[in-house]
Amino acid sequence: MSKYENLVQVLDELRKEAPSEYKRYYPHEDDLDKLNYARSLTYIHLFLKVKFGILDFHEREKNITDGSQDGGVDGYYIDDENKRIYFIQSKFRINKKNFEEKSIGIGELYAMELDRITHGKTSAENGTDYNGKIQALIQKIQGIEDYVKYKEIVILLANIKDKYDNNKLKTLTVFPYEIFNHQKCYTELLFPVVSGTYYNPSELKISINVSNYGGSNRIDYYADTNIKECNITVLFVPTIEVGRILYKFKNSILKYNPRSFLELASGSVNQHIKESITNVDTKEVDPIPWTVFLES
């Protein structure tokens, strides 16, 4: 099975997350036009789920604007934590050859009216009002109090011809852009799904609120090391929070864990970890073993 066939299979499985009332995600299998349109929408779902960890179908669907009068914007995501607004232009192809070789047309890039949308214009240059989801996006942007601190980024889920140099592309997209061509789709969207690392952000941040569980949930310990005195903090985390984190991030948490390789071969990362524990005279390691029990 080719990478493209694997991608289509993943998209068809992801379509099933849509509730039955979302008819456009459940076309008749013989209606290829509607089936391919459903897959093109799900392609944006895949990006939002893998890159931003939006697990809930309804939350992703709110951010998909593709349709008539969409101002050239197929989807978006507002990252309030990192102060980023992502505008998505997607072009899914219905066969392997086109998906891997065909480039997005320059007219489709020209169709993106981001300058109007980000400046609160509710209608296109031709005077036609934008669709309801674009109107909602405009209202969200208008409601951001510190909008000047946000950075706009265009995501192009498409192949781009080499003749479009960086300066020309930035002129077309208005804002800085990131290209997800077919190769990047396979490595950064498809592979995380099939490898179980599903959620694949560029930087993994995990927030845990233990204030509602009562009792003491942390231990602070000061240790003398061969560098200087260090503070070590141990947090007791309820099992339900661990379950929530693993449900969302899955194997992404362990993706860069050097101890995933259990052997202690000479010169390996694990050998150095072992030596850092056994060959020290200061208090990097406490002689008293600790056991932490997680209680729900």
Same domain, 84 and 148: yes
Answer for the pair 235, 224: CB distance below 8 angstroms, yes or no. Answer: no
The Cα–Cα gap between 74 and 154 comes to 11
| Residue 175 backbone phi and psi in degrees, to 5 | -110, 165
Residues 232 and 89 in one domain: no
Helix axes 32-52, 3-15, angle to 10 degrees: 90
Residue 217 has a pLDDT of 72
pLDDT at 120: 95
Please check whether residues 256 and 130 belong to one and the same domain: no
pLDDT value of residue 201: 56
- Provide the pLDDT for residue 195: 73
Question: Would 294 be classed as within a structural domain?
Answer: no
Q: Would 208 be classed as within a structural domain? A: no
One domain for residues 46 and 164: yes
User: Three-state DSSP class for 152?
Assistant: strand
Res 175: pLDDT: 92
Domain that holds residue 44: 3-195
Q: Which two tokens stand for residue 51?
A: 């890159």
Q: Which of 242, 244, 246, 277 is nearest to 259 (CA)?
A: 277
Our count of domains for the chain comes to 2
138, 130 contact by CB (below 8 A): yes
Q: Do 230 and 88 sit in the same domain of this protein?
A: no
Report the relative pairing of strands 229-235 and 218-224 from DSSP bridges.
antiparallel
Q: Does the residue 263 lie in any domain?
A: yes
Regarding whether 150 and 57 lie in a shared domain, the answer is yes
> Cα-atom radius of gyration of the chain, to the nearest Å?
24
- Alpha-carbon distance of 6 to 180, in angstroms, equals 17
How far apart CA 46 and CA 42 sit, in angstroms, is 6
Residues 153, 254 within the same domain = no
Q: pLDDT value at position 122? A: 96
| Residue 138, domain member (yes or no) | yes
Residue 105 sits in the same domain as residue 249:
no
Residues 93 and 183 in one domain: yes
Q: What is the block-wise mean pLDDT of the chain (296 residues), using blocks of 10 residues? A: 94 95 94 96 96 91 94 96 95 95 88 94 94 96 95 94 69 88 94 70 65 69 80 75 70 54 50 64 47 41
